[in-house]
Chains A and B, each alone.
Chain A
């Protein structure tokens, strides 16, 4: 019974857990509920991935209303892969949250905090699993609205303006998306993604479809912070509470990218996107510019969180380069980086959260000599940083390797140079932190600082070890990402015949 309803439980559990946290009205009790739910969700997502590992998609008709009329939850390998990332990061971050939240959030607001975290988790998981274009919008708004509120809980008053800015840009993005879905509904009369895809072929040459495609991709590009639509991201990451930053950086933009991949390959089809709309002509230059600008700007930041946030803009650029390469290898690289970047940024932001707990600041200049006092935290930061740079034997190396392979396949030498160059810039900004923390003396008048508590170190090191594990044992992620990419190309290539525009 339970086994049949796993796809629904995945979203329903956190949705039910959220009001429970609110009713308990105690910080610790709410934390226990949230952590329990997050780990249950992780178990469910592993079970789902196990069920669909062979390649057969799992369908769940909500309320037994059959698709295309009812809402259809679809778990294929791509969805299960992203679900696993979101659920794993959610579980680790939630386990980490108690001490960090106790230090950064008012006691009265702590139950609300966990309520919002669970709502956000439910929304992100829902976006990933749903097969219905309008349902995706609703879940997108559930996760977005809770994210805005979470960002505004930061201690600095600039968190409020950051949340406001994010709200305006996020709502514009979501509204663009819903305009696009509306236009598709006008043409096809359906909201089920698979059904839209099957009915799109006769009308693929019309201006309405072109407009719908533009609205949906721009809307999702706002959500995934594609350069130059990334303006909300640095402030939101810099001023949100540490736990929120770690969770968002590792999941929110990834899920938006997943939605984009889903629309490009499963709804519009790769042939329409690239041969007819030539989306790559827009995506590639912007992705390359994002990778470069994000890396360069990161070097000049004074705040640790802000630096990592700009680095995220650059990493999103890498994923979009993979997407724009229009090949199985490119898509594999994008999916790999989606997974690996979640691991590395999760680990880095959790380490930063430990620093915030003990130091109360994220200014890089305040970290001088901190490696002696907090050796484990800084070691975690260094390994996360190495993974960010793409040093061999870390997860970051694997995805950059595939990215370079994909770009080479197309003979795009300038992009190879760009990926290598931006990786070298990453060395610069990671080194700045290492230099201050390891090679400068702690000022004599600085207050003594202890190592972060075990409840913060354990989750951080779990992600750090995952970075190393997936850097050495690449079979699992590379194999899965490759199979997913092949699946998507198989489904997308023949679906839409190419027509000349009228």
Chain B
């Protein structure tokens, strides 16, 4: 089996797990958002990879083209990117507010401040 032929899926799942690990393991709220972004980007790559049709051209109607890549996943991922941007913006806005309220963006320090209350 030509397992190297699917290298982009290896990249996708490597990125996915990297991002997921960063979200889980990091205590810094900004770094968690970065991890979340890596995690979401891997999904964008997953969709774009599946859209590729071998020997297909860009999905624009040309006189000499007969085989086209599937444009639908690209469109879906445009939507997902917008959603990802919105999530990142909201997440960072929350981090700013948290920094104002607590004076820190480290999870354990925030936790310590709330413990006595």
A-side residues, CB < 8 A to B, are: 134, 137-138, 141, 145, 148-149, 152, 157-158, 160-161, 163-164, 167-168, 171-172, 175, 178-179, 182, 185-186, 191
**A269 CB, nearest partner CB in chain B, Å:** 24
The answer to whether the Cβ of B15 comes within 8 Å of any Cβ in the partner chain is no
A178 surroundings in chain B (CB, below 8 A): 43, 80
| Tally of A-B Cβ pairs under 8 angstroms | 68
B102 surroundings in chain A (CB, below 8 A): 157
**B54 CB, nearest partner CB in chain A, Å:** 15
B interface, over-half SS: helix
By beta carbon, the residue of chain B nearest A187 is B50
**A481 CB, nearest partner CB in chain B, Å:** 33
Task: Please give me the 8 A-B residue pairs with the lowest Cβ-Cβ distance, nearest first.
Answer: A157-B101, A141-B83, A164-B94, A186-B50, A160-B98, A160-B97, A171-B87, A167-B91
* A168-B23, A178-B80, A179-B43 known; A141+B87 contact, CB < 8 A: yes
A226 to B11, CA, bound (A): 31
A158 surroundings in chain B (CB, below 8 A): 114
A178 to B84, CA, bound (A): 12
By beta carbon, the residue of chain B nearest A146 is B90
Known: A145-B86, A145-B90, A168-B36. 15 other contacts (CB 8 A): A134-B79, A137-B80, A138-B79, A141-B83, A145-B83, A149-B90, A157-B102, A160-B98, A161-B98, A164-B95, A164-B98, A172-B23, A179-B16, A179-B43, A191-B76
B-side residues, CB < 8 A to A, are: 16, 20, 23, 29, 32, 36, 39-40, 43, 46-47, 50, 73, 76, 79-80, 83, 86-87, 90-91, 94-95, 97-98, 101-102, 110, 114
Q: Are A152 and B86 closer than 8 Å at their CB atoms?
A: no
Q: Are B29 and A175 closer than 8 Å at their CB atoms?
A: no
Contact of B90 among A138, A167, A172, A185 (CB under 8 A): A167
B20 surroundings in chain A (CB, below 8 A): 172
26 contacts between A and B (CB under 8 A): A134-B76, A134-B79, A137-B80, A137-B83, A141-B86, A145-B87, A148-B94, A152-B94, A157-B102, A161-B98, A161-B114, A163-B94, A167-B91, A167-B94, A168-B36, A171-B40, A171-B87, A171-B91, A172-B20, A172-B39, A175-B40, A175-B43, A178-B43, A179-B43, A179-B46, A182-B50
B95 surroundings in chain A (CB, below 8 A): 164
By beta carbon, the residue of chain B nearest A169 is B23
**A109 CB, nearest partner CB in chain B, Å:** 13
**B67 CB, nearest partner CB in chain A, Å:** 16
A152 to B79, CA, bound (A): 25
**B61 CB, nearest partner CB in chain A, Å:** 18
A191 to B16, CA, bound (A): 23
A141 surroundings in chain B (CB, below 8 A): 83, 86-87
By beta carbon, the residue of chain B nearest A151 is B94
* A161-B110, A164-B95 known; A185+B73 contact, CB < 8 A: yes
By beta carbon, the residue of chain A nearest B117 is A158
Contact of B87 among A134, A160, A167, A185 (CB under 8 A): A167
A148 to B50, CA, bound (A): 32
B36 surroundings in chain A (CB, below 8 A): 168, 171-172
A137 to B80, CA, bound (A): 9
A186 to B16, CA, bound (A): 18
Contact of A164 among B16, B73, B91 (CB under 8 A): B91
* A138-B79, A164-B29, A167-B90 known; A152+B43 contact, CB < 8 A: no
B101 surroundings in chain A (CB, below 8 A): 157, 160
**B102 CB, nearest partner CB in chain A, Å:** 7
A134 to B50, CA, bound (A): 16
By beta carbon, the residue of chain A nearest B102 is A157
A148 to B98, CA, bound (A): 14
